[in-house]
């Protein structure tokens, strides 16, 4: 059984497995709680036992299981039916379930493999002029040239990004006036790098990799681990910067929407 709930708190969320999906769910809860219609939480339950939960935020589902619990094939079939009904743009969940869910939803969702990376620090922070509290309009100006889905989403992006930054859940960085990166979340001493972009006329000059390395070292100095996700063919690129591949998961995106990359 899958049902919407507002009966959640940090103690309950702490029972989820320690992974990216759980941290995303926690970041949503810490940012907005349960009082907004654009963010909903659901329990996945079988025979009266809670197996997992997920959040729906801006048409994206983030799914995780509770520690010691597993999704059966029957539960994955029920989940696929629920997703067909809800029709989110994207679905992310633990890698052990991604391929099976992709098979069940193949007619409506395309699946993409994605590599998870951890930054391995060297303890050497480059001496660079990086703005750690940039004007968000400057950040958006760059990102809108790199991510087509952002072009018509200025107000939504600005509201959400500034909201998270004020609560210490996110951070943006700006190098010069040409390269930027935004931390999607900072949760439990783990930071996930989200959008990274360079204006077209400055691409191919190693700006993005320079900034990513600097961010990895800078946050490591603060006791924060840095992670990111990228397509598998980019493994060598991130390895050269200092990121180590940790595994591959599956992301589902609706076939009737343009890919996000």
Which CATH number belongs to the domain containing residue 164 in this structure?
A: 3.40.630.30
Q: Quick one: pLDDT band at residue 260, thresholds 50, 70, 90? A: low
Structural Rg of the chain based on CA atoms = 19
Domain endpoint, select from 62, 84, 109: 109
Does residue 214 form part of some domain?
Answer: yes
Environment class of 183 (CB within 10 Å of its CB; exposed 0-12, middle 13-18, buried 19+): buried
Note the pLDDT tens digit of each residue in 160-214: 999 999 999 999 999 999 999 999 999 999 999 999 999 999 999 999 999 999 9
Per-residue pLDDT at 69: 97
Domain endpoint, select from 60, 80, 109: 109
Both 122 and 55 in one domain: the answer is: no
Does residue 257 form part of some domain?
Answer: no
**b vs e for 14-34, b when ≥16 Cβ sit within 10 Å of the residue's Cβ?**
eebeebbbbbbbbbbbbbbee
CA distance readout (Å), 39 to 6, 11, 28, 32, 35: 10, 19, 8, 8, 8
CATH number (domain holding residue 44): 3.40.630
- What is this structure's pTM? 0.93
Is 170:185 a contact under the CB 8 Å cutoff?
A: yes
Both 247 and 133 in one domain: the answer is: yes
Both 128 and 243 in one domain: the answer is: yes
Note the pLDDT tens digit of each residue in 58-97: 899 999 999 999 999 999 999 999 999 999 999 999 999 9
Q: Which domain holds residue 177?
A: 118-252
Q: Say how far apart CA 81 and CA 71 lie, in whole Å.
A: 15
Count of domains for the chain? 2
Q: Is 100 helix (H, G, I), strand (E, B) or coil?
A: helix
What number of residues does the chain have? 261
**What is residue 16's DSSP assignment?**
B
Q: Is 219 helix (H, G, I), strand (E, B) or coil?
A: helix
What residues contact residue 102 under an 8 Å CB cut-off, 6+ apart?
A: 109, 111, 250, 252
Q: State the residue for tokens 């959640």.
A: 8
Both 155 and 244 in one domain: the answer is: yes
Q: Which residues pair with 5 in a beta bridge?
A: 41
Both 102 and 124 in one domain: the answer is: no
pLDDT at 12 over 70: yes
């Amino acid at each position: 059984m899958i049902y919407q709930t507002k009966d959640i708190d940090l103690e309950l969320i702490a029972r989820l497995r320690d992974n990216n999906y759980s941290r995303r769910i926690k970041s949503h809860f810490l940012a907005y709680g349960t009082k907004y219609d654009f963010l909903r939480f659901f329990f996945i339950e079988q025979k009266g036992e809670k197996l997992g939960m997920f959040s729906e935020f801006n048409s994206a589902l983030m799914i995780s299981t509770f520690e010691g619990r597993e999704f059966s094939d029957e539960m994955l079939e029920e989940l696929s039916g629920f997703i067909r009904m809800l029709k989110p743009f994207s679905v992310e969940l633990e890698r052990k379930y991604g391929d099976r869910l992709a098979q069940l939803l193949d007619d409506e969702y395309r699946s993409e493999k994605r590599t998870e990376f951890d930054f391995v620090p060297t303890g050497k922070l480059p001496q660079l002029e990086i703005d750690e509290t940039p004007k968000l309009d400057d950040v958006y100006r760059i990102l809108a040239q790199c991510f087509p889905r952002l072009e018509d989403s200025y107000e939504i992006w600005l509201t959400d990004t500034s909201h998270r930054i004020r609560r210490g859940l996110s951070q943006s960085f700006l190098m010069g006036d040409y390269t930027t990166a935004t931390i999607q979340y900072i949760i439990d001493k783990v930071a996930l790098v989200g959008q990274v972009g360079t204006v077209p006329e400055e691409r191919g000059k190693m700006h993005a990799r320079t900034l990513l390395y600097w961010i990895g070292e800078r946050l490591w100095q603060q006791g924060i681990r840095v992670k990111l996700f990228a397509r598998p063919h980019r493994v060598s690129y991130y390895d050269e910067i200092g990121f180590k591949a940790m595994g591959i998961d599956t992301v589902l995106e609706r076939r009737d929407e343009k890919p996000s990359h």
